Amino acid sequence: MSLLLGDTAPDFDAETTQGKISFHDWAGDDWVVFFSHPADFTPVCTTELGFTAKLKDELAARGAKALVISVDSVEDHKKWIEDIEETQGASVSFPIIADTEKKIATLYNMIHPKADPKVTVRAVYVIDPNKKIRASIIYPPSAGRNFNEILRLIDSMQLTDGYKVATPVNWQQGEDVIIVPSVSDEDADKLFPKGYTTVKPYLRVTPQPNK
Protein backbone atom coordinates (compact mmCIF):
# COMPACT_ATOMS: atom_id res chain seq x y z
CA MET A 1 0.00 0.00 0.00
CA SER A 2 1.34 3.42 -0.94
CA LEU A 3 0.32 6.25 1.38
CA LEU A 4 0.32 9.74 -0.10
CA LEU A 5 0.25 13.18 1.47
CA GLY A 6 -3.34 14.08 2.29
CA ASP A 7 -4.43 10.47 2.71
CA THR A 8 -6.15 9.49 5.93
CA ALA A 9 -3.68 7.58 8.09
CA PRO A 10 -5.00 4.01 8.36
CA ASP A 11 -6.45 3.10 11.74
CA PHE A 12 -5.30 -0.02 13.55
CA ASP A 13 -5.32 -1.79 16.89
CA ALA A 14 -1.96 -2.71 18.39
CA GLU A 15 -0.24 -4.12 21.43
CA THR A 16 2.30 -1.70 22.85
CA THR A 17 4.58 -1.22 25.81
CA GLN A 18 1.73 0.81 27.34
CA GLY A 19 -1.04 -1.69 26.63
CA LYS A 20 -3.41 -2.08 23.71
CA ILE A 21 -4.24 1.02 21.70
CA SER A 22 -6.58 1.91 18.87
CA PHE A 23 -4.53 4.35 16.83
CA HIS A 24 -7.10 7.02 15.95
CA ASP A 25 -8.49 7.05 19.50
CA TRP A 26 -4.99 7.20 20.97
CA ALA A 27 -4.00 10.06 18.64
CA GLY A 28 -7.01 12.14 19.69
CA ASP A 29 -6.59 15.80 18.73
CA ASP A 30 -2.78 15.71 18.69
CA TRP A 31 -0.25 15.68 15.90
CA VAL A 32 1.56 12.33 15.79
CA VAL A 33 5.12 11.53 14.79
CA PHE A 34 4.77 7.83 13.89
CA PHE A 35 8.08 6.19 13.07
CA SER A 36 9.61 2.77 12.68
CA HIS A 37 12.96 1.39 13.74
CA PRO A 38 14.63 -1.70 12.26
CA ALA A 39 15.14 -3.71 15.45
CA ASP A 40 15.47 -3.59 19.23
CA PHE A 41 18.91 -3.66 20.89
CA THR A 42 20.54 -1.89 17.95
CA PRO A 43 22.88 1.09 18.39
CA VAL A 44 21.43 3.73 16.07
CA CYS A 45 17.87 3.06 17.20
CA THR A 46 18.94 3.34 20.82
CA THR A 47 20.20 6.88 20.20
CA GLU A 48 17.09 7.82 18.21
CA LEU A 49 14.60 6.68 20.83
CA GLY A 50 16.66 8.28 23.58
CA PHE A 51 16.65 11.61 21.75
CA THR A 52 12.92 11.33 21.05
CA ALA A 53 12.34 10.74 24.76
CA LYS A 54 14.16 13.99 25.49
CA LEU A 55 11.83 15.82 23.07
CA LYS A 56 8.69 15.07 25.08
CA ASP A 57 8.21 18.69 26.19
CA GLU A 58 9.12 20.08 22.75
CA LEU A 59 6.54 17.83 21.13
CA ALA A 60 3.91 18.62 23.76
CA ALA A 61 4.43 22.35 23.17
CA ARG A 62 3.40 21.70 19.57
CA GLY A 63 0.41 19.53 20.49
CA ALA A 64 2.32 16.49 19.23
CA LYS A 65 3.43 13.10 20.53
CA ALA A 66 5.54 10.16 19.37
CA LEU A 67 4.53 6.63 18.48
CA VAL A 68 7.14 3.99 17.58
CA ILE A 69 6.93 0.59 15.91
CA SER A 70 9.14 -2.37 15.05
CA VAL A 71 8.60 -6.05 14.37
CA ASP A 72 9.92 -7.07 17.79
CA SER A 73 7.78 -8.18 20.74
CA VAL A 74 6.48 -6.14 23.68
CA GLU A 75 8.73 -8.13 25.98
CA ASP A 76 11.80 -7.23 23.92
CA HIS A 77 10.69 -3.59 23.75
CA LYS A 78 10.39 -3.38 27.53
CA LYS A 79 13.83 -4.90 28.08
CA TRP A 80 15.33 -2.58 25.50
CA ILE A 81 13.74 0.49 27.11
CA GLU A 82 15.87 -0.25 30.17
CA ASP A 83 18.98 0.00 27.99
CA ILE A 84 17.75 3.20 26.32
CA GLU A 85 17.07 4.89 29.64
CA GLU A 86 20.41 3.74 31.08
CA THR A 87 22.57 4.81 28.13
CA GLN A 88 20.71 7.88 26.87
CA GLY A 89 19.67 9.44 30.18
CA ALA A 90 16.00 9.88 29.29
CA SER A 91 12.74 8.27 30.33
CA VAL A 92 10.82 6.63 27.47
CA SER A 93 7.23 7.78 27.97
CA PHE A 94 5.81 7.02 24.51
CA PRO A 95 4.37 3.65 23.46
CA ILE A 96 6.33 1.25 21.27
CA ILE A 97 4.19 -1.02 19.10
CA ALA A 98 4.91 -4.73 18.79
CA ASP A 99 4.26 -5.72 15.18
CA THR A 100 5.64 -9.26 15.08
CA GLU A 101 3.41 -10.23 12.14
CA LYS A 102 4.40 -7.07 10.21
CA LYS A 103 0.77 -6.17 9.57
CA ILE A 104 0.98 -2.50 10.58
CA ALA A 105 4.43 -2.05 9.06
CA THR A 106 3.08 -3.42 5.77
CA LEU A 107 0.00 -1.20 6.02
CA TYR A 108 2.27 1.84 6.34
CA ASN A 109 4.80 0.68 3.71
CA MET A 110 7.58 0.40 6.28
CA ILE A 111 8.95 -2.88 4.90
CA HIS A 112 11.18 -2.35 1.86
CA PRO A 113 12.19 -5.84 0.64
CA LYS A 114 15.10 -4.61 -1.49
CA ALA A 115 16.57 -2.91 1.58
CA ASP A 116 15.83 -5.73 4.04
CA PRO A 117 12.74 -7.98 3.93
CA LYS A 118 12.99 -8.84 7.64
CA VAL A 119 12.99 -5.40 9.27
CA THR A 120 11.39 -2.00 8.93
CA VAL A 121 13.27 0.88 7.35
CA ARG A 122 13.47 4.21 9.21
CA ALA A 123 10.11 5.57 8.09
CA VAL A 124 8.56 8.70 9.58
CA TYR A 125 4.98 9.86 9.15
CA VAL A 126 3.74 13.17 10.52
CA ILE A 127 -0.02 12.94 11.00
CA ASP A 128 -2.23 15.92 11.85
CA PRO A 129 -5.21 16.08 14.25
CA ASN A 130 -7.56 15.31 11.33
CA LYS A 131 -5.66 12.02 10.90
CA LYS A 132 -4.26 13.17 7.56
CA ILE A 133 -0.72 12.26 6.52
CA ARG A 134 1.03 15.60 6.17
CA ALA A 135 4.62 14.47 5.66
CA SER A 136 6.64 11.30 5.21
CA ILE A 137 10.38 10.70 5.26
CA ILE A 138 12.18 7.42 4.56
CA TYR A 139 15.74 6.79 5.74
CA PRO A 140 17.83 3.65 5.19
CA PRO A 141 18.46 1.50 8.28
CA SER A 142 22.09 2.68 8.40
CA ALA A 143 21.32 6.40 8.83
CA GLY A 144 20.01 7.90 12.04
CA ARG A 145 17.29 10.49 11.63
CA ASN A 146 17.43 14.21 12.41
CA PHE A 147 14.58 14.78 14.85
CA ASN A 148 15.31 18.49 15.07
CA GLU A 149 14.29 18.59 11.41
CA ILE A 150 11.03 16.86 12.26
CA LEU A 151 10.28 19.54 14.85
CA ARG A 152 11.10 22.21 12.26
CA LEU A 153 8.76 20.50 9.80
CA ILE A 154 5.89 20.51 12.31
CA ASP A 155 6.54 24.19 13.05
CA SER A 156 6.36 24.97 9.35
CA MET A 157 3.13 23.05 8.77
CA GLN A 158 1.41 24.54 11.80
CA LEU A 159 2.42 28.04 10.71
CA THR A 160 1.38 27.61 7.09
CA ASP A 161 -1.95 26.08 8.14
CA GLY A 162 -2.83 29.37 9.80
CA TYR A 163 -1.44 31.91 7.32
CA LYS A 164 -1.10 32.19 3.55
CA VAL A 165 2.64 31.71 3.64
CA ALA A 166 5.29 29.13 2.84
CA THR A 167 8.62 28.66 4.61
CA PRO A 168 11.87 29.04 2.62
CA VAL A 169 14.92 26.83 2.59
CA ASN A 170 16.37 26.08 6.03
CA TRP A 171 13.71 28.23 7.71
CA GLN A 172 13.65 28.34 11.51
CA GLN A 173 11.11 29.75 13.96
CA GLY A 174 11.15 33.54 13.95
CA GLU A 175 12.68 33.94 10.51
CA ASP A 176 11.04 35.57 7.49
CA VAL A 177 8.57 33.61 5.39
CA ILE A 178 7.25 33.80 1.83
CA ILE A 179 3.78 34.97 0.83
CA VAL A 180 2.14 32.32 -1.38
CA PRO A 181 1.80 33.37 -5.06
CA SER A 182 -2.00 32.98 -5.04
CA VAL A 183 -2.30 36.06 -2.76
CA SER A 184 -2.55 39.32 -4.71
CA ASP A 185 -0.51 42.35 -3.69
CA GLU A 186 -3.75 44.06 -2.68
CA ASP A 187 -4.68 41.21 -0.36
CA ALA A 188 -1.10 40.92 0.89
CA ASP A 189 -1.26 44.55 2.02
CA LYS A 190 -4.22 43.62 4.23
CA LEU A 191 -3.04 40.21 5.40
CA PHE A 192 0.51 41.21 6.31
CA PRO A 193 0.47 44.50 8.21
CA LYS A 194 4.18 44.17 9.02
CA GLY A 195 4.80 44.73 5.32
CA TYR A 196 6.74 42.69 2.81
CA THR A 197 9.61 42.93 0.37
CA THR A 198 9.03 42.08 -3.29
CA VAL A 199 12.16 40.37 -4.61
CA LYS A 200 10.30 39.15 -7.70
CA PRO A 201 6.54 39.29 -8.38
CA TYR A 202 6.35 35.63 -7.28
CA LEU A 203 8.81 36.03 -4.38
CA ARG A 204 7.55 38.27 -1.58
CA VAL A 205 9.20 38.05 1.80
CA THR A 206 7.49 39.03 5.04
CA PRO A 207 8.25 38.66 8.77
CA GLN A 208 6.76 35.57 10.39
CA PRO A 209 3.17 36.71 10.99
CA ASN A 210 2.62 35.09 14.39
CA LYS A 211 5.77 36.47 15.99
Q: Quick one: which of 45, 9, 11 has its CA closest to 139? A: 45
Sign of CA dihedral 116, 135, 127, 55: positive
The DSSP element (H or E) to which 75 belongs, if any, is: helix 74-88
Of 45, 124, 165, 178, the catalytic one is 45
| 204, 197 contact by CB (below 8 A) | yes
Sign of CA dihedral 137, 115, 40, 8: positive
45 catalytic residue (yes or no): yes
| 145, 131 contact by CB (below 8 A) | no
Residues taking part in catalysis: 45
